[in-house]
């Protein structure tokens, strides 16, 4: 993932390239006068980014039975929205029922004509609200959280000072996460070569951000204050997952356990049932019982996880 890839991220896969140079002592790179795109240079995530916008192929997006149509992948940015939707449903808000369709960014699904129509920036997640006469598209994960909070009147304070605090932390996450994902995560785990300078630079910033959170959570139960809000839903899939050792295998390297208040907050949110469900939607890695590639009904969590799907396929073949 490049540092500019601000609203889609790469799932955790294989270990860092420990055989590559890590001191930064190699030959100095001299930029050319005019940069040219080398399609072969990008490692395992080369298909997730390119230097031009627009679609590469014609393909319409599927549309399910619900008013809300989500096109996503269970990266941290995708998890923000599925957690929000599951939290809304847990509150009894039936209008938040949704269809979640899998967008395989490694295969370039985000560059289809249908997805680009939903999000001209070609990053997951993208939401289409079909509850009115004209479909409304919403892209950028923070914008989707804010849209849903205002649409359903939930998880966003209405008192001016509390609302401002919540939105400030929401946008803090949107501005900070690229340093964590495109910066630290990329150079520590995914870059074809490991260099001391960028790893040190982004490690310092990541730890500073964790310290910002830890100080805030010292005397506040949640990020925005006493109540659980969209600010927590935005921050937790990135920084909570980082603290819990779920992204970049970097918890020990960053000494996340030393941020006691962040850990308390991360574990508290991790225990919420809607959060557990939200993490499963559009997931394509990890335990098969925790992968729900598509979500169209609440019963899918019981009957359509990948372990159940594969068992069903096996039974059909045997019969």
Confidence at 40, pLDDT banded by 50, 70, 90: low
For residue 202, what are its two tokens?
Answer: 């982004």
Q: Say yes or no to pLDDT of 156 above 90.
A: yes
pLDDT at res. 43: 59
Average pLDDT over residues 270-275: 98
CATH superfamily of the 1-17+40-319 domain: Glutaredoxin (3.40.30.10)
Residue with tokens 């005019």: 34
pLDDT over 60 (residue 274): yes
Retrieve residue 126's tokens: 């993208």
Average pLDDT, the chain: 90
Q: How much is the pLDDT for 28?
A: 83
**Separation between Cα atoms, residue 189 and residue 249, nearest integer Å:** 8
- Band of the pLDDT at 48, cuts 50, 70, 90? confident
Pairwise CA distance, residues 75 & 9, whole Å: 6
CA-wise closest residue to 254 among 238, 273, 269: 238
Number of Cβ atoms within 10 Å of the Cβ of 248 = 22
pLDDT bucket at 295, cuts 50 / 70 / 90:
very high
- Least Cα distance to 250 among 187, 299, 195 occurs for 187
314, pLDDT greater than 80: no
pLDDT (tens digit per residue) in 217-249? 999 999 999 999 999 999 999 999 999 999 999
Taking the C-alpha atoms of residue 65 and residue 99, their distance in angstroms, rounded to an integer, is 7
- For residue 302, count other CB atoms closer than 10 A to its CB: 10
Nearest in space to 143 (alpha carbons), one of 114, 164, 173: 173
15-18: long-range contacts, CB 8 A cutoff, minimum separation 24: 15/189, 15/249, 16/188, 16/189, 16/190, 16/194, 16/249, 17/191, 17/192, 17/193, 17/194, 18/194
Answer yes or no: are the C-beta atoms of 209 and 179 closer than 8 Å: yes
Beta-bridged to residue 295, according to DSSP, are 100
Instruction: Provide mean pLDDT across the span 293-302.
Output: 98
**CA-based nearest residue to 5, from 46, 36, 33, 38:** 46
Mean pLDDT confidence for 198-224: 98
pTM for the model: 0.89
As a whole number of angstroms, the distance between CA 301 and CA 299 comes to 5
Residue-wise pLDDT for 158-181, tens only, equals 999 999 999 999 999 999 999 999
Strand partners, 129: 68, 136
How many Cα atoms sit within 13 Å of 135 on the Cβ side?
A: 14
What is d(CA 308, CA 292) in angstroms, rounded to the nearest whole number? 10
Would you list the domain boundaries of the chain? 1-17+40-319
Angle between helices 260-270 and 196-217 (to 10 degrees): 80
Q: Return the H-helix or E-strand segment holding 319.
A: none
Taking only the tens place, the pLDDT of each residue in 50-63 is 889 999 899 999 99
**pLDDT for position 238:** 98
Q: Flag whether pLDDT at 23 surpasses 60.
A: no
Question: pLDDT tens digits, residue range 77-133?
Answer: 999 999 999 999 999 999 999 999 999 999 999 999 999 999 999 999 999 999 999
Q: How far apart are the C-alpha atoms of 99 and 54, rounded to whole Å?
A: 25
Neighbours of 237 (CB within 10 A): 30
């Amino acid at each position: 993932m490049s540092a500019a890839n601000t609203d889609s991220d790469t799932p955790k896969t294989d270990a860092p390239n420990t055989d590559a140079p890590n001191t930064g002592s190699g030959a100095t790179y001299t930029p050319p006068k005019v940069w040219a795109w080398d399609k072969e240079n990008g490692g395992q995530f080369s298909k997730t980014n390119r230097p031009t916008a627009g679609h590469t192929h014609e393909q319409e997006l599927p549309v399910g039975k619900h008013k809300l149509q989500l096109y996503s992948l269970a990266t941290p940015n995708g998890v923000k929205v599925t957690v929000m939707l599951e939290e809304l449903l847990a509150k009894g808000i039936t209008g938040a029922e949704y269809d979640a369709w899998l967008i395989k960014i490694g295969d370039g699904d985000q560059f289809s004509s249908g997805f680009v129509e939903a999000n001209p920036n070609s990053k997951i997640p993208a939401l289409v609200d079909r509850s009115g006469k004209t479909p409304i598209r919403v892209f950028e994960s923070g914008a989707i959280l804010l849209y849903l909070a205002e649409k359903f009147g939930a998880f966003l304070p209405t008192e001016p000072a509390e609302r401002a605090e919540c939105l400030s932390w929401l946008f803090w996450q949107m501005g900070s996460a690229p340093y964590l994902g495109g910066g630290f995560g990329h150079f520590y785990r995914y870059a074809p070569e490991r260099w001391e300078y960028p790893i040190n630079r982004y490690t310092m910033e990541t730890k500073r951000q964790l310290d910002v959170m830890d100080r805030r959570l010292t005397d506040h139960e949640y990020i925005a204050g006493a109540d659980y809000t969209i600010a927590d839903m935005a921050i937790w899939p990135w920084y909570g997952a980082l603290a819990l050792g779920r992204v970049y295998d970097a918890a020990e390297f960053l000494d996340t356990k030393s941020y006691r208040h962040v850990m308390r907050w991360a574990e508290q949110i991790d225990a919420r049932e809607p959060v557990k469900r939200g993490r499963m939607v559009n997931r394509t890695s990890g335990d098969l019982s925790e992968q729900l590639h598509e979500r169209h009904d609440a019963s899918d969590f019981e009957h359509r996880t990948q372990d159940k799907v594969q068992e069903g396929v096996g039974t059909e073949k045997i019969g």
